[in-house]
Structure 1
Amino acid sequence: MNGRTIATAALAQFKKVRVAYLRLRGQTPDTVAEQRVVDGTSWDEFCDTLKSAGAAIVFPGTPTDPLTQAEGYRYLSRLTRAGLEAFVEYADPRAPVLRRMIHETAKMGSDNPDNHYLNATVDGTLDYRITGTRGTVDYLGFGTQEGNYGEGGQMPTTGYVEAADLEIGPDGRFELIVSATAHDGNWLPMTPATGLLIVRQTFADRTAEVPADLTIELLAGSAPPEPLTPAQLDAGLGKASLLVAGASMLFAKWARDFAQHTNELPMFDPERSTKAGGDPNIIYYHSYWRLGPDEALIIESEIPECDGWNFQLDNHWLESLDYRYHTIHVNKHTAKYREDGSVRIVVAHRDPVLPNWIDTTGHDCGAMTFRWIRAATHPQPRTRVVSTAELAQLD
């Protein structure tokens, strides 16, 4: 049992003891929450936890240049927005909504620029139905996970299914049952501990593909949510602030660890990835990059038989760089291939007029990720740093 597991178990035991103590005093968790909201304790603790999250911005080894620091504090503000939407606005599992928690202006954990993420808060003891149209997006996957982004630190997958495995009508319509008990037809498993549903839509060509159009509802029928309770607000503010503090520190540590193999691309432990909520069908290569003003990073690899692959550049906070306005990633569809079918990617500060250029967008360091999606084999990408003058000598 690791330290994180021990801490989580201790917290659960503390909550049980606290509830028993409150009952002995004639109080309930609901009445305590009412008092905390009325006297401002809930808000004070929310603000205090947000303030403490600033520790991630000055974590040992973090770059102190103005750009990285500015992006760091923006990162905290983005996590705050995402946390409040997830745990205050859309936290009721009896009124689920598929919505984008991670997108162009809210990012974490080396978010995939090719992905259109949808999340919904669910309860593993309830049954749900997803309905909609398949669209033409290259890859569509549905996963359930234990816990959520605001508690714990590990989010093991409790069920996964891909569109390729579903029965879909000729008009592209389908329905998918999400439940802890087995169901005939299209079924996405949960466990009683499941708390989160994630839909990943991966584009090969965003300019031409149509995303799936999806809705989720309780199988027994959805009803308007009950009015907000103090207990819901108290819990929601706590989870939102823990997301900001926990996620920012977790990925600050990842960045520190990745920097130990700067400008290389070692395979990331698949088991660790899945426990953190990664797609179980993907093999990741997480690392760090750092380039001087006149340096470039060359990445070369054979391409195996696979559903897809991509490479992306992130900032220090493991946020994908701004793919709305800059070319910061390349994938199976957009890449230019060499005659032997291999690929060469060039990360450089300025356009070298070479295929597969990745723009650093004014950064001199950050994280990076290479992914193989359902690949038959997993070739090791090769890397080397060269001077920008040497780029002209590449064939």
Structure 2
Amino acid sequence: MSNPASTPAPPNRNSTSDATTTNLGLAKDWSEFCRALERAGEVVLRDAAPDTPLDRAEGFRYLSRLTREMLYSCVDNADPDFPRLHELDLVKIGADNPDNVYLSANIRGDRSYRITGKRGTIAYFSIGSKANRYAKDGTMASTGELTDADLVVEPDGTVEIIASATEQGRNWLPLAPDSTGLVVRQTYLDRSTETPGQWHIERLDAPAGPAPLSPEFLVGALRRAALSVHGTAATFADWTELFMTRPNELPDFGQEMFQRAGGDPEIYYLHGYWTLRPDQAWVIETEVPDCPYWNFQLNNWWMESLDHRRRISVNKHTATLDGGTLTIVVADRDPGVGNWIDTCGHRSGTALLRWLGADAHPIPRCRVVDLDSLARTPSSTGEDR
């Protein structure tokens, strides 16, 4: 007769069955995640999108960048009890500003958070709480804002910000029940001399430690990531199609749309679509209002800023003005007049002029001219568009 103490217990058939069912479900959900990413490719292949090899390659690279970012945000940095401020340095979304250092963190509106750091010497700082619904309806409404104008900096340069539903501390960032994230914007005028701040976030009254990964969380996170990739890409492709209705202009399409998508309330956005032949230039002229910051930038069709290593933007510090008038020349090559912006081999794309904190918001005068004649006669007027 065997010793009962040494006899192995019979396997728990229910537990084995449950594990098998869970594993099969996870495999199915992973396959659906992959199919959802494949469907996001339809945005790159839509009829209005350019089909040149450069634009098509950038479109699929854009989806890969979105996938990387959404997986990190939805899977690895999704816990609102233990948030991390993450720099968006490898993804370009919605006409990202080449002068900006963007930080983001996932939070919940029914929690309270402390953000600490040093302001640094960078020209502009703002932090906003957002209700991110890109995966659902392409919006990211502001639920609270705190800017330089309101920020209290201690004598030693440190800052403490409390993000909560009820007012706390000297630097309070309001949260709403539907707040899901924080976005920090730090904006350079002069990258060679300015230093951005360093920031940390923690939840007040956080639990002792994070919960272990569960299959249910992972499935939901993968679904949110795939929806966010598709939703983000589709939102800004829709914007570009709108801008295409008024080519080679920088009109006011209405600020509400841009604010609902997560724009800074301090900024007035003038978006546009451009299309040029290699022998043409897009000339933009405008008066410049008195404001802390402005910039102009060129983007591809997907609303990604072009290569920052090339001359694709100009701002209040780097521009040359002529008697208070700003002249920008968008072209394949530098004509030697105005502030040249490089098309980087593109024949079409999008553009953005930002006025930050300005009382007036001039609408630029735009025209397309022959590039060679512009270089010969800087005063050439060309054909108005």
**What is the TM-score of this pair, normalised by structure 1?**
0.88
Deviation string 1:72-95 (CA, Å, 9 cap, x unpaired) is 111111110011011001000011
**Relative to 1, partners in 2 of residues 1:341 and 1:165: Cα closer, same or farther, differing over 3 Å?**
same
**Segment drifting more, 215-224 vs 175-184:** 215-224
| Residues 375, 37 of structure 1: alpha-carbon distance in 2 compared, 3 angstrom cutoff | farther
The AA in structure 2 aligned to 1:220 is D
Counterpart among 144, 147, 160 of residue 129 in structure 2: 144
Counterpart in the other structure of 2:11: none
Alpha-carbon distance in structure 1 between the residues aligned to 2:22 and 2:228:
24
CA gap 1:351/1:196 in 2 versus in 1, 3 angstroms: same
Give runs of aligned pairs for residues 270-289 of structure 1, distance below 5 A. 270-289=255-274
How far apart are residue 353 of structure 1 and its match?
A: 2.3
- Provide the residue aligned with 1:59 in structure 2: 46
Which of 232, 236, 241 aligns to 1:256? It is 241
Of Structure 1 and Structure 2, which has the larger fraction of its residues in helix?
Answer: 1
| Residue among 176, 198, 211 paired with 1:191 | 176
Residue 72 of structure 2 corresponds to residue 88 of structure 1? no
Note if contact 1:37-1:230 (Cα within 8 Å) is conserved in structure 2: no
CA, structure 1 residues 97+336, in 2 after alignment: closer, same or farther (shift >3 Å)? same
CA contact (8 A) 1:351 1:357 kept: yes
Query: Of 299, 318, 325, which residue of structure 2 is paired with 1:342?
Result: 325
Q: CA deviation at 1:38?
A: 4.2
Aligned with residue 383 of structure 1, among 356, 366, 378? 366
**Contact kept? 2:81, 2:206, Cα under 8 Å:** no
Partner of 1:23: none
The correspondence for 1:169, drawn from 154, 157, 173, is: 154
Q: Write the deviation string for residues 228-252 of structure 1: whole angstroms up to 9, x where unpaired.
A: 1112211110111011111111211
* Secondary structure, counterpart of 1:261 in structure 2: coil
How far apart are 1:193 and its partner, in Å?
Answer: 1.0
Equivalence for 1:12: none
Q: Secondary structure at the match of 1:194?
A: coil
Match for residue 314 of structure 2? Answer: 330
Residue 32 (structure 2) aligned to one of 33, 38, 45: 45
Deviations 1:238-276 (A, max 9, x none): 111011111111211111111111101101311111111
Asked if the contact 1:298/1:346 (under 8 Å) is kept, the reply is yes
CA distance, structure 2, for counterparts of residue 312 and residue 88 of structure 1 = 32
CA contact (8 A) 2:135 2:224 kept: yes
Contact 1:113 1:320 (8 Å CA) reproduced: yes
Taking a change above 3 Å as real, the CA distance of residues 286 and 243 of structure 1, as seen in their structure-2 partners, is: same
After superposition, the Cα gap between the structure-2 partners of 1:269 and 1:306, relative to the gap in structure 1 and judged at 3 Å, is same
Match of 1:71 in 2: 58
Question: Which of 252, 262, 282 lines up with 1:297 in the alignment?
Answer: 282
Using the TM superposition, give the Cα deviation of residue 145 of structure 1 relative to its aligned residue in structure 2, in angstroms.
0.8
Query: Does the C-alpha gap of structure 1 residues 249 and 63 become closer, same or farther in structure 2, counting only changes over 3 Å?
Result: same
Aligned length: 360
Task: Check whether the contact 2:246–2:273 (CA below 8 A) recurs between aligned residues.
Answer: yes
Q: Which amino acid aligns with 1:245?
A: H
Cα offset, 1:361, TM superposition: 0.6
- The aligned amino acid for 2:319 is A
Structure 2 portions without partners, runs of 5+:
1-17, 380-385
Question: Is the strand fraction higher in 1 or 2?
Answer: 2
One-letter amino acid of the counterpart of residue 137, structure 1:
I
Answer yes or no: is the 8 Å Cα contact 1:132–1:212 preserved in 2: yes
Partner amino acid for 1:73? F
**Partner Cα distance (1:222, 1:214) in 2:** 21
Gaps of 5+ in 1: 1-30
Q: For 1:71 and 1:153, how far apart are their aligned partners in 2? A: 21
Match in the other structure for 1:3 = none
- Which of 82, 91, 95 lines up with 1:110 in the alignment? 95
Q: Deviations over 1:288-322 (max 9, x none)?
A: 00110100010000011112111100001110001
SS at match of 1:156: strand
Work out whether 1:154 is the aligned partner of 2:168: no
Shift of the alpha carbon at 1:147?
3.0
TM-score (norm 2): 0.90
Aligned letter for 1:154? T
Structure having the higher Rg? 2
| 8 Å contact from structure 1 (residues 321, 328) kept in 2 | yes
